[in-house]
């Protein structure tokens, strides 16, 4: 009987057969939705599909029982009038779309065009998930933000199948493209008046919301998302931690950063020359200021891409060109101040962090400096506001190494230039951010009786040496650990380095399991590889300088960050009004022994 005293049989007796059939279909659909979300579990010989509301995508099942969806739109193509605007939702499609190939990556600096691999129409997302996962699975989500110095999509299309499989099919992995270079970071008051500054970062944020909204359809937990970036992706992670003044929008629950990248990040008025140069070179300068952006939006891709090239910063030498001409700017909204200032003031989202660097971060970027003047010119061409006093101090901090190390194919001052750039741009940002989190946790603990999360900070120094890198004078270069994080054969279809398949093979399960453990449990120790050493938290050091794990082949161990390196990082932090990372007065660390001598 029903609640109203009428039998179900009598009720259905009064319903027309067509209506009965319709109701049964609705019931079946409802059961499917409740059981499997919007992901259709593929039957043998069938491909999996997922209905995202605006489109249905057909992926494929690959080895290991993993569903792979590649090249799904997460935003409308940012072309025409959508150039230099915040991303918007993709158009609705009633046809099932193929998601079996990567979409083109976003046009980068100096990339040839037309191209089959790079395009303005590039806002695509890729998902790897266990087959059979449904909305009740609520698997942890690993969301990877690729790098490329904000001028290219350099880490696109890394294959997430192996990390999903090695997790025991207990995670969902996501990566994606975002606008870069001229297309993602053109800055001017004329852009903000009728568009969006930092469009590439807004793409990332839009994608995070896409994941929050849609990942349950792939078996992921929208309330358990770890963001992970490499290089500029790691710099992006830092910017999302401080976005909108450190506002927590619930888009992520922990963060991983490989080589946090802090280039010069100027305020908008300091970048008007870039916009002027663009309109002057494309014929749009003749338009009224209010119409110049409209003019640029009306140009074809070929014309604009021809101007998507690096130029010297104003007042600087033509060579060497700046490594990263297009970078994020302080827009007053998403990025409200210089990064170091945001962290120093405690304006960040408080989540567990796993940050780290390679031993020789600057070796792939530094000029082959023969003299100290060569090193100074290189640094000023990348940080153009550095003064003579600044560079004199830098030369004192990073002198000619004596006896000079024998580095194949490199001049005498290359090791100093490499170390200076690597610490200023990659290593010290990570150390300084972790110190800011630890200080905030200590302050919170001192002002209340509640427990803090100060132990949820981990740091690493990657020192797995490849003989080819050593022979080339690169040491352990930028992002070398990525082969171990994702598996040696999963980076852009590039051949696996021989070292990771032979004498450094033990580093792969060691590193991958630390990362997977953090993604799944917010602690790299919980599910670490059998026999691997415990990874102590950052705050465990006895001298307060920070503790980190040194990841090496067969000799992984803990160490404290040295006082000398902390002093060098404090020096760079003091210079950041000119490196455009922080607005603090310069304080030379007189009396500190730094890099083997006193300043």
Residue 343 and residue 436: Cα distance in Å, rounded? 6
Six token digits for residue 388: 């003579």
Q: Strand pairing of 172-176 and 124-130?
A: antiparallel
Residue 446 CA: distances (Å) to CA of 25, 440, 452: 61, 10, 10
| Residue 495 DSSP class | P
Measured CA to CA, the distance from residue 395 to residue 595 in angstroms comes to 11
Q: How many CB atoms lie within 10 A of CB 208?
A: 22
* Region label for 105, one of left (φ > 0), alpha (ψ between -120 and 50) or beta (otherwise): beta
H helix runs in 252-358, sequence order:
272-282, 292-297, 301-305, 339-344
Q: 26-31: long-range contacts (C-beta < 8 A, 24 or more apart)?
A: none
> Which residues is 98 bridged to in the sheet?
58
Q: Judge whether 464 and 476 are in contact, CB under 8 Å.
A: yes
Instruction: Provide the β-strand partners of residue 549.
Output: 460, 558
CA–CA separation, 370 and 414 (whole Å): 7
In this structure, are residues 276 and 187 in contact, taking their beta carbons and an 8 Å threshold?
no
- State yes or no: is 445 an active-site residue: no
CA distances from 304 to 80, 203, 536 (A): 12, 20, 50
- Going by C-alpha positions, the residue among 172, 174, 181, 121 that lies closest to residue 145 is 174
132: left (phi over 0), alpha (psi -120 to 50) or beta: left
Residue 563 CA to residue 557 CA, distance in Å, equals 19
Which has the closest alpha carbon to 66: 216, 151, 169?
Answer: 169
24-60 core/surface letters (b: 16 or more CB in 10 A; e: else): eeeeeeeeeeeebbbbbbbeeeebbbbbbeebbbbbb
Q: Which residues on adjacent β-strands are paired with residue 124? A: 73
Catalytic-labelled residue, pool 188, 192, 231, 541? 231
Burial class (CB in 10 A: 0-12, 13-18, 19+), 585: exposed
Q: Is 221 exposed, middle or buried (0-12, 13-18, 19+ CB in 10 A)?
A: middle
Catalytic residue numbers, as ranges: 231
């Amino acid at each position: 009987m029903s609640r109203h005293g009428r039998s179900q049989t009598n009720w259905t007796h009064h319903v027309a057969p067509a209506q009965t059939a319709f109701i049964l279909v609705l019931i079946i659909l409802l059961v499917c939705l409740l059981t499997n979300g919007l992901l259709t579990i593929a039957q043998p010989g069938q491909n999996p599909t997922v209905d995202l509301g605006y489109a249905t995508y057909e992926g494929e099942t690959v080895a290991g029982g993993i569903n792979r969806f590649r090249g799904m739109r997460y935003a409308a193509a940012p072309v025409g009038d959508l150039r230099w605007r915040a991303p918007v939702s993709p158009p609705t499609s009633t046809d099932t779309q193929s998601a079996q190939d990567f979409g083109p990556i976003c046009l980068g600096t100096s990339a040839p065009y037309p191209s089959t691999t790079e395009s303005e129409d590039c806002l695509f997302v890729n998902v790897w998930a266990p087959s059979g996962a449904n909305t009740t699975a609520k698997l942890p989500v690993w969301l990877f933000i690729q790098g490329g110095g904000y001028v290219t999509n350099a880490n696109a299309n890394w294959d997430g199948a192996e990390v999903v499989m090695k997790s025991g099919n207990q995670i969902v992995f996501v990566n994606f493209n975002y606008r870069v270079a001229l297309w993602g970071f053109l800055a001017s008051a004329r852009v903000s008046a009728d568009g969006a500054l930092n469009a590439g970062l807004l793409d990332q944020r839009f994608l995070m919301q896409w994941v929050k909204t849609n990942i349950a359809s792939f078996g992921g937990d929208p309330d358990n998302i770890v963001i992970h970036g490499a290089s500029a992706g790691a710099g992006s992670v830092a910017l999302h931690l401080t976005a909108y003044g450190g506002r927590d929008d619930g888009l992520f629950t922990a963060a991983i950063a490989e080589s946090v990248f802090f280039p010069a990040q100027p305020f908008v008025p300091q970048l008007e020359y870039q916009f002027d140069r663009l309109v002057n070179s494309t014929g749009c300068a003749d338009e009224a200021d209010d119409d110049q952006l409209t003019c640029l939006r009306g140009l074809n891709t070929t014309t604009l891409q021809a101007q998507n090239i690096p130029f010297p910063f104003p007042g600087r030498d033509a060579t060497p060109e700046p490594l990263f001409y297009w970078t994020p700017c302080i827009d007053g909204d998403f990025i409200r101040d210089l990064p170091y200032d945001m962290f120093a003031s405690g304006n960040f989202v408080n989540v567990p962090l796993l940050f780290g660097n390679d031993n020789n971060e600057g070796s792939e970027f530094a000029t082959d400096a023969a003299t100290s003047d060569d090193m100074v010119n290189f640094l000023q061409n990348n940080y153009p506001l550095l003064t003579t006093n600044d560079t004199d101090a830098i030369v004192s901090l990073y002198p000619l190494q004596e006896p000079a190390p024998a580095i194949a194919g490199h001049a005498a001052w290359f090791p100093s230039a490499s170390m200076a750039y690597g610490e200023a741009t990659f290593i010290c940002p990570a150390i300084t951010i972790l110190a800011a989190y630890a200080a905030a946790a200590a302050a919170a603990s001192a002002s209340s009786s509640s427990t803090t999360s100060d132990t949820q900070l981990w740091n690493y120094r990657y020192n797995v040496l490849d003989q080819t890198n050593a022979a080339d004078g690169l040491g352990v270069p930028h992002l070398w650990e990525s082969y171990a994080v994702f598996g040696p054969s999963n980076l852009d279809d590039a051949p696996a380095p021989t070292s990771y398949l032979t004498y450094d093979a033990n580093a792969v399960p060691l590193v991958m399991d630390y990362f997977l453990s953090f993604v799944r449990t917010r602690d790299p120790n919980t599910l670490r590889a059998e026999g691997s050493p415990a990874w102590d938290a950052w705050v465990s050091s006895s001298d307060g300088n920070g503790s980190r794990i040194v990841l090496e082949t067969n000799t992984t161990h803990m160490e404290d960050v040295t006082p000398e390196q902390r002093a060098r990082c404090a020096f760079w932090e003091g210079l950041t009004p000119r490196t455009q990372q922080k607005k603090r007065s310069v304080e030379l660390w007189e009396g500190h022994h730094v890099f083997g001598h006193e300043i």
